[in-house]
Amino acid sequence: MNIKVMVSALLLVGMALSGCSGLPQPKPPGAGNPPVITASFAADKGMYGDIIKVYLAAEDPQGEMDRIAVQVSQVGYGVYPTSWTVVKPKYAKKFVGYIQWDTYSEDTPKMPEWTQISMNITVIDKGGNQSVPVVLPYQFVTGGFASPPLPAPFSQRRVIPRIGYIDIDLINPEAPMGPLD
């Protein structure tokens, strides 16, 4: 057998076994374009214990938006476990709304002034495709600030629906820890 033919045959067999046939591969079910966060907004400062409304506008041409993931990072503490919000079917294609976070926790009665956090937010569809994340900073301060006006598209609506909640209890890294068992 000619050496060129043998090498070519081995190459084709290897490519076929590895799935690299050079031909377009079919996409798995649910694959496609990821959702897109088209707008986002949250105040960048407020008092500990305030309710933060995180405004989001997102769309998915396939109508498969499934979950909103919020991951909070806190300077001096670290990253908290992800908070998941299930997107209701009526919002699976497009929504303009907010997710609500009550920052007060009974386990953390106070938070140091100037504590900085950031909220990393992603929308995920049923196929596991993730939007480009948005990162919103926030700082806990006491008094002397006004809530900024809502930007478009949020300011253009009379009623903005609540899409869900952020379920994260913050920790004061300066607070003494209780006894270890």
Q: What is the pLDDT of residues 128-157, one digit of tens each?
A: 999 999 999 999 998 877 888 999 999 998
Percent of the chain at pLDDT > 90 equals 69
Asked if residue 18 has pLDDT above 60, the reply is: no
Q: What is the pLDDT of residues 96-112, one digit of tens each?
A: 999 999 999 988 999 99
pLDDT at residue 145 in the model: 75
pLDDT at residue 21 in the model: 40
CA–CA gap between residue 126 and residue 119 (Å, rounded): 22
Asked if residue 26 has pLDDT above 80, the reply is: no
Sign of CA dihedral 41, 141, 72, 164: negative
Q: Let me know if residue 72 belongs to a domain.
A: yes
CATH code assigned at 66: 2.60.40.10
User: Which pairs from 88-95 meet CB under 8 Å and 24+ separation?
Assistant: 88/163, 91/65, 91/163, 92/60, 92/63, 92/64, 92/65, 92/66, 93/59, 93/60, 93/61, 93/62, 93/63, 93/65, 94/58, 94/59, 94/60, 95/56, 95/57, 95/58, 95/59, 95/65, 95/161, 95/163
Q: Let me know if residue 24 belongs to a domain.
A: no
SS3 135: strand
| Better pLDDT: 87 or 146 | 87
pLDDT at residue 32 in the model: 76
Q: Among 11-20, 76-85, 149-158, which stretch is predicted with the lowest mean pLDDT?
A: 11-20
Q: Let me know if residue 28 belongs to a domain.
A: no
Q: Let me know if residue 161 belongs to a domain.
A: yes
Q: Let me know if residue 80 belongs to a domain.
A: yes
Structural domain boundaries, residue 125: 36-165
Q: Let me know if residue 53 belongs to a domain.
A: yes
Q: Let me know if residue 2 belongs to a domain.
A: no
pLDDT at residue 16 in the model: 47
Unique residue bearing structure tokens 């009550």: 102
Asked if residue 10 has pLDDT above 50, the reply is: no
Asked if residue 57 has pLDDT above 60, the reply is: yes
Number of domains in the chain: 1
- pTM for this one? 0.79
Q: Let me know if residue 29 belongs to a domain.
A: no
